[in-house]
Structure 1
Amino acid sequence: MPRKRPTVADLRALKGKRQLTMLRIFTLDEAAAAEEAGIDIVSAPIELVAHPRYREVAPGLFSMTGVDHREAGTRDDYLRFSLKALMAGADAIYCSGGLGTVKFLADEHVPVVGHVGLVPSRATWTGGFKAVGKTADAAFALYEECLAYEAAGAFAVEIEVVPDAVATEISRRLPGLLLWSMGSGAGCDVQYLFAMDILGDHKDHMPRHSKVYRNFAAEYERLQRERVAAFSEFRRDVETGAFPEDRYLVKIDEAELAAFRARLP
């Protein structure tokens, strides 16, 4: 029996009642695994959410997608993308653009998720890829930014690499806004990690806030070695005549073969 996919209203009703889980995913296999594991929310590229099989494998995942505001174009372009994404099966739209754009989308009843703290596409304004909100002034600015997102019509914000005590205080004071924590503590409403970090699926720097549960990188290396070994064995078999063996070939009756040969020039 497929899970019932939550709505924005369902997620809002859960604020303060339990922690929800969220993953950034990129493949149908990851979507299917998230569904089976009981993950609540995912962020995924539009190409994945719009895939014909996406809702077949992930019927119960509340799914957010988006486009970088640096690529989105005008607000009308952003709205056009958002409406198409919702029609394709998305449940919410991530918006890294300004508050005016957030309001523009929300006024058209698009479920919008904003982003505060360390925002990669805007990191130059906060000093690069580092924590945000470690002083009283910076923390209060984060609070005011979350207030502004709520006023603009966002139903949630991703809050990234902010001191957990700061994120907790902000979340307590904003009952109408969901805070999706990426490295900002359990005082928020959702715990958000990248699937590739959980799986140890890359060799790059691992963010401090990410927990590795499996070592897929080592497994992929092992599989690559096995792949090379299998290809090498195949090449050697061909070169020595060991492949193809009779069991892999189709045979013809000897009389039919003789008749065929007799007709050849």
Structure 2
Amino acid sequence: MSAPAAARPLTLGDLAAKKDAGEPIVMVTAYDHPSARIAEDAGVDMVLVGDSAAMTVLGHSSTVPVTIDEMLMLTRAVRRGLSAPLLVGDLPFGSYEASDELAVATAQRFVKEAGCDLVKIERGGTTVDRARAIAAAGIPVVGHVGLTPQSATSLGGYRAQGRTADAALALIDDALALQDAGCAVLVIEAVPAEVTALLVQRLRIPVIGIGAGADTDGQVLVWHDLLGITDGPTAKFVKRYADLRGAALAAVGDYAREVRSGAYPAPEHTYAMPAEELTRLEDLLAAR
């Protein structure tokens, strides 16, 4: 029996069609090849190799320390695991802010070296100019407004944004400016649902929410959050669909106990040499 044909790679046109049809877009983060394969087989539409890897994979306390080379390594691993979903690479802090030339050069690396379909950058302000430059270079851009982790310190920490009328208006203006600059998709994070609803009405491009309510065109969650891989508190918007940390802890604990008790490895986990070869080996050793 032949293997099933690989799913057709999705396009930006497919995302636009989903938006027009009211069909929700499913996006997850992933940081390695096994996770990418699971995302592929689960049928998600988009995979983001987020700079959240700094915290979920590399053990940092924020997204800021992760480097371009680290992000490229992780993104290449994910690329090798994907066929159908669109791959988005997160440009890390310090890799695009200084100039249009730097932004384009970094984005080109993510496309050429890691096979990204789109790149993501954070905030409005001068980032709007960087988005315009990258899009003009022929690379699709995902904008990101609301809680932008790369600038969490200046935002007062990891907390919801746009909770006053003035702050919400500024956020909406940033989103519209990013769309006008050529962004193909927008991520909106940790924003009141009422603000999101008003924003989505004013945008033509697909909007992916994370902690921004149900009025977006799609949703994204961090891999380790939705699978329950990490311990400790999570953001209000996180729903854990599994407890893989608990399952892993139990499994490794069982393994450790069996090794210490001698129950593992059992005969069924052990390779055997044919009796005649063992006899011959013993004779050869004895003759030395």
Superposed, which structure 2 residues align to 1:122-137 within 5 Å? 122-137=151-166
For the Cα contact (< 8 Å) 1:199–1:216, is it kept in 2? yes
Give the letter for the 2:236 counterpart.
R
Question: In the alignment, is residue 14 of structure 1 matched against residue 40 of structure 2?
Answer: no
Select the residue among 39, 44, 58 that pairs with 1:39. Answer: 44
State the TM-score, normalized to the length of structure 1.
0.85
Q: Give the superposed CA RMSD.
A: 2.7
Taking a change above 3 Å as real, the CA distance of residues 225 and 109 of structure 1, as seen in their structure-2 partners, is same
Identity of aligned pairs, percent? 26
Residue 183 of structure 1: CA displacement? Answer: 0.7
For the Cα contact (< 8 Å) 1:46–1:66, is it kept in 2? no
Select the residue among 49, 69, 75 that pairs with 2:93. Answer: 69
Question: In the alignment, is residue 109 of structure 1 matched against residue 135 of structure 2?
Answer: no
| Cα deviations by residue, 1:223-260 (Å, 9 ceiling, x for unpaired) | 120221233134x999xxx99xx974565475785576
Inter-partner Cα distance in structure 1 for 2:255 and 2:281: 40
Report the counterpart of residue 96 of structure 1 in structure 2: 122
Inter-partner Cα distance in structure 1 for 2:281 and 2:250: 48
Give the letter for the 2:38 counterpart.
A
Residue 221 of structure 1: CA displacement? Answer: 0.8
Report the counterpart of residue 147 of structure 2 in structure 1: 118
Residue 261 of structure 1: CA displacement? Answer: 3.7
The number of residue pairs the alignment matches comes to: 254
Give the letter for the 1:183 counterpart.
G
Inter-partner Cα distance in structure 1 for 2:128 and 2:264: 64
For the Cα contact (< 8 Å) 1:66–1:82, is it kept in 2? no
| Cα deviations by residue, 1:78-123 (Å, 9 ceiling, x for unpaired) | 3223223223321100112622211111110111111110111112
Give the letter for the 2:157 counterpart.
G
Superposed, which structure 2 residues align to 1:141-156 within 5 Å? 141-156=170-185
Report the counterpart of residue 225 of structure 1 in structure 2: 253
For the Cα contact (< 8 Å) 2:79–2:116, is it kept in 1? no
Superposed, which structure 2 residues align to 1:107-256 within 5 Å? 107-175=136-204, 177-234=205-262, 248-249=272-273, 251=275, 252=277
Select the residue among 70, 74, 80 that pairs with 1:48. Answer: 74
Taking a change above 3 Å as real, the CA distance of residues 139 and 12 of structure 1, as seen in their structure-2 partners, is same
Segments of 5+ residues of structure 1 without an aligned counterpart are none
Give the letter for the 2:137 counterpart.
E
For the Cα contact (< 8 Å) 1:19–1:186, is it kept in 2? no
Inter-partner Cα distance in structure 2 for 1:64 and 1:257: 59
Give the letter for the 1:94 counterpart.
K
State the TM-score, normalized to the length of structure 2.
0.79
For the Cα contact (< 8 Å) 1:68–1:96, is it kept in 2? no
Give the letter for the 1:81 counterpart.
T
Matched position secondary structure for 2:247: helix
Runs of 4+ in 1 over 6 A off after TM superposition: none
Residue 194 of structure 1: CA displacement? Answer: 0.9
| Cα deviations by residue, 1:150-203 (Å, 9 ceiling, x for unpaired) | 12211122100111121111111112x221100101211111111111111110
For the Cα contact (< 8 Å) 1:161–1:184, is it kept in 2? yes
Give the letter for the 1:69 counterpart.
F
For the Cα contact (< 8 Å) 1:158–1:179, is it kept in 2? yes
Taking a change above 3 Å as real, the CA distance of residues 151 and 248 of structure 1, as seen in their structure-2 partners, is same
Taking a change above 3 Å as real, the CA distance of residues 225 and 174 of structure 1, as seen in their structure-2 partners, is same
Inter-partner Cα distance in structure 1 for 2:232 and 2:281: 62
Inter-partner Cα distance in structure 2 for 1:5 and 1:66: 20
Taking a change above 3 Å as real, the CA distance of residues 233 and 132 of structure 1, as seen in their structure-2 partners, is same
Report the counterpart of residue 86 of structure 1 in structure 2: 111
Segments of 5+ residues of structure 2 without an aligned counterpart are 50-70
